[in-house]
Structure 1
Amino acid sequence: MTERRVLLHTTRIPVRWGDMDAYAHVNNTIYFRYCEQARVEWLEQGGYMVSIDEDEGPVIINAACTFLIPVTYPATVIVRAYAGAPGRSSVMNWYEIGVEGDDRIYAEGSAKVVWMNHASGKSVPLPEALRKRVEN
């Protein structure tokens, strides 16, 4: 990690048998779900509900994942979510995915979170309390 990153949240997620693909490892699409779960937990712990029923809220405008070591069932993945310096309406998030009982990193991911007004579809400034959480 070259840029300053702040650890936001760590979560543990059991790997389900249905997460596996024909190659007998977790399907690539599931890694994005693991990162999504960590992101949603972090936001909701801060009081920000991820719901279209809210006037404003987070959306992601891009996502990436680099697969380093295959995860297989049975396992519990550990997802660590990090944030970089916030912009006006966005903050970059990074993820490290590991397996409980193993110190290696199995995958690395990222997503850019943008705060959006749901009615207009336009970006709005990050909530000040959220900005402070990622700056500290």
Structure 2
Amino acid sequence: MEKFKQQYPVIVDDIVRWGDMDAFGHVNNTVYFRYFEQARIGYFEQVQAMEYMQAHGIGPILAATSCRFKAPLKSPDTIQIGATISEFYEHKLIMKYAVWSNNLQRVVAEGEGVIVFVDYHKHKKMPVPANIVDKIKLLQPTLFTA
């Protein structure tokens, strides 16, 4: 768990709900994308991207996502979902996610998301706003060191 905390600057606590499971008795694959979404939004709240989007109409949108399942997750359980930016570009971010199971004491899924910044009024790609970049630098200073 210590390594998990070091890798992910934003960690969101959640529970595995009975309704998250499918007929096979484990969490359905689609639910992991909701878990990732919780961590992604948590990250964006930390860097005030959502506030910026409301004020200026420029914000993040998920362009692609993937998940690698490592162990079956079942209810009841409590989980931590981590988010970090692994790569930064002018117009997009690559975000990594992981789901930690407290019952299993291990990472049960890892994922990735490609996030693009867009002007929601003009429907066009935009550079990541400078004040959001500054907040990401504070949250993840090593991301920008060569």
TM-score normalized with structure 2 length = 0.81
Which deviations, in whole Å up to 9, do the C-alpha atoms of 1:34-54 show, x marking residues without a partner? 000011011123222289855
- Structure 1 residues 50, 102: CA separation in 2 closer, same or farther (over 3 Å shift)? farther
Take 2:36 and 2:136, find their aligned partners in 1: how far apart are those partners? 17
User: Residues 41-52 of structure 1: matches in 2 within 5 Å?
Assistant: 41-49=42-50
Structure 1 equivalent of residue 9 of structure 2: 8
Q: Deviations over 1:64-92 (max 9, x none)?
A: 00011010000011111111231111110
Instruction: Provide the rounded CA distance (Å) in 2 between the counterparts of 1:99 and 1:51.
Output: 33
Aligned to 1:77: 79
CA contact (8 A) 2:47 2:136 kept: no
**Identity over aligned residues, as a percent?**
31
Unaligned runs of 5+ in 1: 1-5
Q: 1:133 to 1:102 in 2, by over 3 A?
A: farther
> Which stretch has the larger CA shift, 38-47 or 62-71?
38-47
| TM-score normalised by L of structure 1 | 0.87
- Check the 8 A contact 1:94/1:111 in 2, yes or no: yes
- Which amino acid counterpart does residue 118 of structure 2 have in structure 1? M
Q: Unpaired segments of 5 or more residues in structure 2?
A: 1-6, 142-146
**Equivalent residue letter for 2:127:** P
Alignment of 1:21-60 (within 5 A): 21-49=22-50, 55-60=57-62
- Return closer, same or farther for 1:51/1:23 CA change in 2, 3 Å cut-off: farther
Higher helix share: 2
Tell me how far apart the structure 1 counterparts of residues 75 and 16 of structure 2 sit (CA, whole Å): 6
Q: Does 1:106 align with 2:108?
A: yes
